[in-house]
Amino acid sequence: MQGKVRNIKRVATHIEWAMTIGNKEKLINHIEEMMSLCNEVKAGIMEEKKPNCDINVEVINEIPFLYKPILKKDYYEGTYLEDFGEQRSEDLKLSKAMNNHNKFWQSYEIIKGNIFGSVPKELLSEDSIRDLKRFGWDECTVNVIDVLERKCDFDEMIKFCESEYGKYVIVKEKSSEVEMILHYMMG
């Protein structure tokens, strides 16, 4: 990869030179070479990102949710998540949504994800929805995705979810032991 980046820098210098002397033929050749090198680098990056996970999934439902957004990029640093959890609980208590939130999430074993506060809207009263929105919760649609078959380890499944879905929670339904992915589709 470093060699290709050096070649891009070299070709950029040649492009500059060709522009300076006004040689259109050399300029076009160098631009084409630059585009080819950039495409090679891009393909290499895309290949690195692709998870090596053979997984068969099916969207089985689409549900409106409310979620509490994370407002920090490096949320694992310091006490952010602990403070976030306390504020989430306070929001749910004040909006009288705690019982419905807990009832929903107690049906699932949360395995991994990057959403740390959410609840289906259909479980909430209009007053609770209004209050949670006032506390900064946002609306989104969640695709409920059934994992029909997985031929990869869990770390590869996580990489798959990160590359395919972005915002997600991997859960296991306690009653059936079925793995599911909740894909949070945000505006």
Quickly list H helices, the chain: 2-21, 24-49, 80-94, 98-105, 126-134, 154-164
Structure token pair of residue 97: 């949504």
The pLDDT value recorded for residue 45 is: 72
Q: What is the pTM of this model?
A: 0.72
Residue type, 6: R
Sequence spans of domains, the chain: 2-49, 54-185
Residue 42: its pLDDT value, please? Answer: 82
- The pLDDT confidence band at residue 48, using thresholds 50, 70 and 90, is low
Contact 41, 4 (CB under 8 A): yes
Is there a contact between 172 and 159 (Cβ–Cβ < 8 Å)?
no
Mean local confidence (pLDDT), 27-46: 86
Q: What is the pLDDT of residues 71-120, one digit of tens each?
A: 888 888 899 999 999 999 999 999 999 999 999 999 999 999 999 999 99
